Homo-oligomer: A and B are copies of this chain.
């Protein structure tokens, strides 16, 4: 099954990459605020159904994909 994981810096955590993006967009003439940069991870999981796939991917997030102190994550099973 195909899964998509979104990993984002938590609110209140400094995000230098987001600040750089915001500043660069401002220099290009765009009016933006509060830019935050995270990761999107797409992967193929070996699972019998969507529920099992989601449970597996949540464990991957806890063990590797996200740093729970600084990042939040969201898992979507695409099918």
Contact = CB atoms under 8 A, between A and B. Distances in A.
A43 B64 contact: no
A37 to B, nearest CB: 5
* Assembly stoichiometry (copies): 2
- Categorize the interface residue count of chain A: 20 to 34
A55 B56 CA distance: 37
Contacts of A38: 39-42
Contacts of A43: 21-22, 25, 32-36
Given A56-B30, A65-B21, A40 B39 contact: yes
Interface of A: 6-8, 18, 21-22, 24-25, 28, 30-46, 56, 59-60, 63-65
